Amino acid sequence: MSTTTSPTGVRLAKVFTGRQRYVPILATAGVLLLMWIGGSLTYDNFADLQVLLNVFKDNAFLLVLAVGMTFVILSGGIDLSVGSMLALSTMLCAWLITEEGWSPGTVIPLVLVVGAVSGGAMGAIIHFFEVPPFIATLAGMFLARGLCYVISTDSIRISHPFFTETANTMVPLGDYRIDPSVVTSLIVVAIAFVVLHYTRFGRNVYAIGGNEQSALLMGLPVALTKVGVYAVSGLCATGAGVLYTFYTGAGYSNTGIGMELDAIAAVVIGGTLLTGGAGFVLGTVLGVLVFGVIQTIIQFEGLLSWWTRIAVGALLLLFIVLQRVIGARKT
């Protein structure tokens, strides 16, 4: 994806300035509601709140990953390295804690810093050397995945009491229980919502995604914002990796293969414009929930997991077409 927004992207971004910018997110909410009603009428216990909480639990790491991807896509970029960065963070956690004897209180912040610095470095390369985001983050993807294999080609179990106790802890919610990873992911969403909609940095992200040249002419800090956007993506990717280690209790080099595509799909299904400049982090939450509910329905139906890919692919095409149709009607 080019660092400069195409004429089509500028036109579509302008379309999403009034009420029509809410059409994709409303469509996502409608699809989610229809799937939930259909599942509730078809399967026993599908409507139970615990099923929804389990959807959040199984996709908490994907939600954090998709939040970071939302920042990048809103700015008009793309980040293909997040799946590999997630895997690298699981390997670093497992290796440093299990084999080197480091404490989780030291390892987790270190891993998050590595993610933020790596993401920021890719953002700097993209902006200052005018490297297309697709190429720069593809290189980052290969680099991070290669480092995983340097650490170990085998799965490394984490037996530290902090990880095992946290993984087995449940937060009571009335008659139901919620996983701490869900709470963490929702806190990340809340922070992202505030940053995007109530800070200067967030407004700059939207402005750059709408039209980078106009943002430069207005004197906005384009370079700093771009570096910051990819730093946020790297931070969220390694944060998602930490959540994934709690979820699986291990680090594995092949973790997260293709997960960057899941994150992109969730963001687009959630209504964020692929060319940047329009979208909502709450839409990303709905996109992840759509992804999770599809998985749940397929599990209830007893189908093979690859049907999830087919369903998500069909929905992704539908929402891309929807974005184009909205732009065509306006013009």
pLDDT tens digit sequence for 281-295: 999 999 999 988 888
Does residue 2 sit within a domain?
no
What pLDDT was estimated at residue 23?
77
Domain that holds residue 214: 7-330
Q: What are 200-206's contacts with CB under 8 Å, separation 24+?
A: 201/225, 201/228, 205/71, 205/74, 205/75, 205/229, 206/74, 206/277, 206/278
Does residue 1 sit within a domain?
no
Quick one: residue 101, left, alpha or beta (phi over 0 = left, psi -120 to 50 = alpha)? left
Does residue 105 sit within a domain?
yes
What pLDDT was estimated at residue 194?
96
Higher pLDDT, 38 or 229: 229
Higher pLDDT, 240 or 5: 240
Does residue 142 sit within a domain?
yes
For the chain, what is the domain count? 1
Contact 221, 208 (CB under 8 A): no
163 confidence band (pLDDT: 50, 70, 90): confident
Mean pLDDT for the stretch of residues 47-51: 83
327 confidence band (pLDDT: 50, 70, 90): low
Contact 288, 70 (CB under 8 A): no
Mean residue pLDDT of the chain comes to 87
Question: H or E segment at 165?
Answer: helix 161-168
What pLDDT was estimated at residue 132?
94
Backbone φ and ψ for 16, nearest 5 degrees, come out as -90, 40
**Strand-pair partners of 250:** 157
10 Å Cβ neighbour count for 293?
Answer: 22
DSSP string, 185-205: HHHHHHHHHHHHHHSHHHHHH
Nearest to 75 by CA among 170, 154, 1, 172: 1
pLDDT at 5 over 70: no
CATH of the domain at 31: 1.10.3470
C-alpha–C-alpha distance, residues 164 and 56, integer Å: 20
Backbone φ and ψ for 173, nearest 5 degrees, come out as -135, 80
Quick one: residue 5, left, alpha or beta (phi over 0 = left, psi -120 to 50 = alpha)? beta
Contact 120, 228 (CB under 8 A): yes
Q: How many helices (H) and strands (E) does the chain have?
A: 15, 4
Going by DSSP bridges, is the β-strand pair 176-178/171-173 parallel, antiparallel, or unpaired? antiparallel
SS3 category, 177: strand
Share of the chain above pLDDT 70, in %: 91
Contact 84, 148 (CB under 8 A): yes
Question: H or E segment at 294?
Answer: helix 281-301
What pLDDT was estimated at residue 299?
83
List, for residues 171-219, the tens digit of each pLDDT value. 887 778 888 899 999 999 999 999 999 999 999 999 999 888 888 888 8
Nearest to 64 by CA among 237, 202, 183: 237
List, for residues 92-147, the tens digit of each pLDDT value. 999 999 988 899 999 999 999 999 999 999 999 999 998 999 999 999 999 999 99
What pLDDT was estimated at residue 264?
93
